[in-house]
Amino acid sequence: MSEPKRVARATITRLPRYLAYLEGLDAQAKTVSSQQLADGAAVKDAIVRRDMSDLGITGTRGVGYDVAELVEHLHRELGRGEARRVVIIGAGHLGLALANYRGFGDAGFKLVGIYDADPELFGNAAGDARVSNVAELEKDLAGNPGTLGIVTVPGGVAQDIVDRLVAAGVKSILSFAPTTLSHPDDVDVRHMDLATELQVLAYFAR
């Protein structure tokens, strides 16, 4: 049996924008054109058509795409069929802010743990979880494939945390650590360096 087609990363990054636009449509809307999707996601019409083709989604010429079917398809692609487990490593200001972010549930994610190395933080409430000893990370992840990791620790310890997450079977990691991280090819690590992003914005604000 052939392997399922791997969708390009660039396409995947646009899917949440398409979904957000679709979910914001009037409840009476039954179809949506590629141009409407393009305008809603701030991309070109040709990109929408290519993305839909890559996903195996076909529309009707002159009509567009069925909204309900498209939303259902995007939910499946983005894992919105059931709550995806998320753990946060680092219970500092950023980690706690993320733990208290109410949008997790709306987007189909469930915070199941937040970890730190500071004993004074153990047991503190953080969103729907409580801060646990990072030494328990591997034990808690055992038997839970598909858990996503969010790393908010200082750069000096971020690589060790990523290595531990990878060893525990985590395949998708979002890192806020201001450092480059090495990882196996089959592990997806996305970097969110706030200072770097602000510097880029500052350049365009001149």
What residue segments make up the domains of the chain, in order of their start?
Answer: 9-77, 84-198
> Quick one: average pLDDT of 114-141?
96
In this predicted structure, the answer to whether residue 144 has a pLDDT above a threshold of 90 is no
Q: Which residue has 């989604």 as its token pair?
A: 57
Q: What is the pLDDT of residue 163?
A: 97
- Using a pLDDT cut of 70, give the percent of the chain over it: 95
Task: For residue 198, name the pLDDT band (cuts at 50, 70, 90).
Answer: confident
What distance separates the 2 farthest-apart alpha carbons in the chain?
62
In this predicted structure, the answer to whether residue 45 has a pLDDT above a threshold of 50 is yes
The domain at 84-198 falls in which architecture? 3-Layer(aba) Sandwich (3.40)
More confident residue, 96 or 201: 96
Q: What is the pLDDT of residue 178?
A: 86
Which range of 23-27, 85-89, 102-106, 142-146 scores highest in mean pLDDT? It is 85-89
Q: What is the pLDDT of residue 79?
A: 72
Distance CA 129, CA 143 (A): 19
**CATH code of the region 9-77:** 1.10.10.10
Angle at 155 (CA atoms; ends 158, 162), nearest 5 degrees: 15
Q: What is the pLDDT of residue 141?
A: 95
Q: Helices (H), strands (E): how many in the chain? A: 9, 9
In this predicted structure, the answer to whether residue 4 has a pLDDT above a threshold of 50 is no
Distance CA 170, CA 121 (A): 24
What residues does 84 pair with on adjacent strands?
109
